[in-house]
Each structure stands twice: as C-alpha cells, then as structure tokens.
Amino acid sequence: MITPLADELGELDAVAQADLVRRGEVTPYELISAAIERIEDLDPTLNAVITPLYDEALEAARTLPVRPVGPVGPLSGVPFLAKDLVVEIAGAPFSEGSRFVRGLVSQVDSELVRRWRRAGLVVLGKTNTPEFGMVPACEPLAFGPTRNPWDPSRSTSGSSGGSAAAVAARMVPMAHGNDLGGSIRYPASACGLFGLKPTRARNPLGPEYGDAISGWACEHALTRSVRDSAVLLDATAGPMQGDPYGLPSPGRPFAAEVGADPERLRIGYTARTADGRPAHPDCVAALEDAGELCASLGHDLVETELPGSISEVGTAIGTVFDAATAWIVEYWIRRLGRVPSDDELEPLTRAYWDRGRQVSAAAYLLAIEDCQAFARVVAQWLTGIDVWLTPTMSMPPATIGEITSTAEDPLRAARAGGRTVGYAGVVANLTGNPAMSVPLYWNESGLPIGVHFLGRYGDEGTLFRLAAQLESARPWAHRRPAVTVRTGLSAL
C-alpha cells in the first residue's frame, strides 16, 4: 500500500522536490524511499524499471545533508532513473536491451552520470529500452514490453519508453533519455510528457564515446515540467575534455529562459508528413489546436514545408542506420570478445547488421555528406522562421506487439514503426538542431498526442521560452494517466 506521503511527493516535479529538501521539510532519504514505493507499486503493470538500484540509492541518500548548508546541487535528493542505453553506471548491470550484452556489469561512470550526481540526483534504477534503441517502441525480447500508463494495451513508443512510462506514472519526476532519431520526443508524445532533444554536442557522451553516428545521438531527459528540463540541462551541458567538438555556452542559464517572454515568434507549420502520406486525424487535430493556441498568444503562423523533401535523403538515412547497427554490433563483439549466437540478437537487429556489413566506408561517408548538405538547406530555411511546428508522431500510440519483428519477417518492426513517425523527427538529428515535443492535446480515447517544434541550431532558449508559455497557457501536469499510484483516478 502506497503511503499518502509517497503519493503526495509523486505529484511534485524535480525542482519542487529539491526545494523541499533545501527547506528541510523532507530528507533525501524520504524522497528516495517514496519513489521506491511508487516503483514497486506500479512497475508490475508497466515494466518500466528493469534494473533496480535501491540499496545504492538509499545509501547515497543517507550521505546527502538533511538540511543543506551552503551551495548544493540544484536537484539535491531528487530520485532519477537512467535509461539502459549508452550511459553507464559503474557496478550496475548494462544490456542496451540486448540478450547479447545482458549480464555485463559496467566498470566506469559515464561523464553524464558524474554530472547528475554533482547536481544532487540519486539514480535508483535503469529503464527498459528496445534492443540498441533501434525502433520507436519499447518491447525488447530480453525484458518484455513496457506498457503505456495511459492505456496499458498501448506502446510507449521509443526508444526511451521505459523512462517515459516511469515519469508519466509518477514513479520519478524525471528520467534519462537519449535521441538518435526521435527517441526522446516520440515517447514524450506517446506518454504526455515534455521532451527536449538538445543541440548536438550540448551534453557529453564520454568517456566511452566522442560522438555517436556522426553526432546524431544526443543525451537528455523526459520530464513533466519545462523547468525541470531546463534546470537539468544547465547541470549537464558542456563538453568534457577531449570531446571532438563543443558548443559555446548559452548567454544565460536555460532555467532563466523559463518564464521569460518569448516575444512575437514567426512559427512555420505543416500537417504534411515527410513522405506525403496522410497523418492520423488526431495528430492533425493536435497540430491545429497548437496552432490556434500559439496564435492566441500573439505569434505569427505561416504554413511552410521543409525545403526539398526528406525522402530525397531517405536513402542516405537508411545507409547511415544500417551502418550504425553494424557499428553497434561490432563494438559489442570487440568489447565482449565473442560473436552473438543465433538467438542473442533480435531479427530486426540481425537484418540491419547483415545489411550494414555491406555498406562500404565510402558509401557511409557519402551518405553523411548528403545528410549534411540537407542540413545546410534546412539551416538557411530556418533563417525565415523562428521554429517549425508539426505533430510529433503521425499516429496515436500503437498497440503492444504492433511494432515487433519475427524471424520470418525481420523488417516488420521497421515498417510498422515507420508508419508512426511520418513527421521525421530524425531531421533534428541530421541537422543537430534542438527540438521538443510538447503535450498539449489528448484525443477522445484519452491518449496524449504531442506537437513538435524544431528550433535553430544552438537556440534551446527560444524553445524553453515558448514551451513555458504554452505550459502556462495550457497546463498539463494535473493530467493523470490510468496507471498511477491513485489507481483509477485520472483528470483527462
């Protein structure tokens, strides 16, 4: 039975929880204990947390001051979950959703983990992810599917699906995500959360990686509030020594952008998907609703489409993803010192690996060159608008089992997943630009449908200002999914 305190604390965002610690009204140990209660109550239904680290978290909470004196991390004592992909925690099991890797124990902390701890976060577990994060779903054979708190028969999308389910269900106020082609933003849409993909190189990937897939991969988090995302990015942003490239520091903290006037923005928008196929009416309705809200706030909206067509670089994107899968598998072969057996890779991964091994170095570099040329076209186009608005996804959350593959049809998950992401969130990864999914709309079935804003390179500030304005005008934090601590209570 969940205690009233655990339920009450679960409703607070990370900044509010940290404020309670600073004022001495709760201890870090109480925050972590309450989060563990919530996870143990909800996870049997959702399957979001695959690796509990409770003993380590409780011990860490004991070492934090009950009433901090002097400078402390901005998120001191706040419970946090790490996605089990890319980012490693020394002494913790690590699998990247794969039966091939499962059983490995990490030997070092990623730099991002060190920065989480300096901010005061306490990591109390690791969340589910599809094998190597390769599909917009979270149903790995190694751990089973994560279920959407708004409707457990539905997918969380992916690949940060375990983190999204945990935050939406109030297990924790924020959780780690990473994004190679939309993997923060898609589950944010499917689970009714705020999800920001930062600008390329804003957060470090070391010490294991300098970059990943020519800079496509980014690290950050899924949150229920805009301010949580901004405060966390302030705590983690900046290159580590030896990074291949970095970004200039922002003019002021990202947290200072939250609540600042975004002024009058020129917002481009389109309902047209990248491949021209019609989107689901609920996604179009979400776009229209967001456009009306932005107009009511004084912004100028102009209908405009991405220059050229993402389909023109579709072959290059496919080449990069095939090569990326081959790199991932070969990386693990080298690290583990053996090749995967027939049953250790999922059918889709093996199919991509087989294709990726046929990609030459020249073909890969030509594909990257094609994507970078497209990025330059997009950068020029964005000089005429401040942000670009579309639906985040082209369909509501899929049903469990819909985005999966079989030995007989290994590419089934790719086809099914592709139908849900027709607005090509991967554009932000190609260009390196920041982008965000904002939860402003729920359909008649009570499922969240996010809207997506693509910003200019290095300009998270505009996105944070706009997101905070939208959050103030159309609050979403009060909405509770069907699966939360207060089972059956929902404000839809």
Give residue-wise pLDDT tens across range 207-264.
999 999 999 999 999 999 999 999 999 999 999 999 998 898 899 999 999 999 999 9
Give residue-wise pLDDT tens across range 190-204.
999 999 999 999 999
Say if residue 492's pLDDT is above 50: no
Q: For the whole model, what pTM was predicted? A: 0.97
Say if residue 490's pLDDT is above 50: no
Residue 311's pLDDT is what? Answer: 75
Q: Write the CA distances from 78 to 151, 194, 245, 456, integer angstroms.
A: 27, 18, 31, 31
How far is it, in rounded angstroms, from Cα 170 to Cα 294? 28
Three-class secondary structure of residue 442 per DSSP: strand
How far is it, in rounded angstroms, from Cα 140 to Cα 133? 9
Band the pLDDT of 450: cuts 50, 70, 90.
Answer: very high
Find the helix or strand (DSSP H, E) in which 222 lies.
strand 218-223
Band the pLDDT of 68: cuts 50, 70, 90.
Answer: low
**Any idea which residue has 């290095």 for tokens?**
458
Residue 312's pLDDT is what? Answer: 78
How far is it, in rounded angstroms, from Cα 328 to Cα 324? 6
What is the overall mean pLDDT for the chain? 95
Residue 246's pLDDT is what? Answer: 84
Residue 1's pLDDT is what? Answer: 67
% of residues, the chain, pLDDT over 70: 97
| Residue of 237, 273, 231 lying closest to 254 (CA atoms) | 231
Say if residue 146's pLDDT is above 70: yes
Q: Write the CA distances from 191 to 48, 274, 437, 463, integer angstroms.
A: 12, 23, 11, 20
Band the pLDDT of 488: cuts 50, 70, 90.
Answer: very low
Output the six-digit token pair for 90: 């020394």
Mean pLDDT over 352-361 rounds to 97
Give residue-wise pLDDT tens across range 4-23.
999 999 999 999 999 999 99
Residue 72's pLDDT is what? Answer: 72
Count the helices and strands in the chain (H runs, E runs).
Answer: 15, 13
Three-class secondary structure of residue 226 per DSSP: helix
User: Can you state the percent helix, strand and coil of the chain, rounding each to 5?
Assistant: 40, 15, 50
Residue 388's pLDDT is what? Answer: 98
**Any idea which residue has 């399957």 for tokens?**
47
| Residue of 312, 460, 301, 308 lying closest to 380 (CA atoms) | 308
The catalytic residues are 83, 159, 183
Q: What is the DSSP string of 167-200?
A: HHTTS-SEEEEEESSSTTHHHHHHHT-EEEEPPT
φ/ψ of residue 194, rounded to 5: -90, 130
Count of Cβ atoms closer than 10 Å to residue 315 Cβ: 11
| Residue of 317, 318, 331, 324 lying closest to 357 (CA atoms) | 324
Could you tell me which CATH class the domain 4-473 is placed in?
A: alpha beta
Q: List the beta bridge partners of residue 122.
A: 79
How far is it, in rounded angstroms, from Cα 45 to Cα 146? 9
Band the pLDDT of 69: cuts 50, 70, 90.
Answer: low
Three-class secondary structure of residue 44 per DSSP: helix
Residue 85's pLDDT is what? Answer: 98
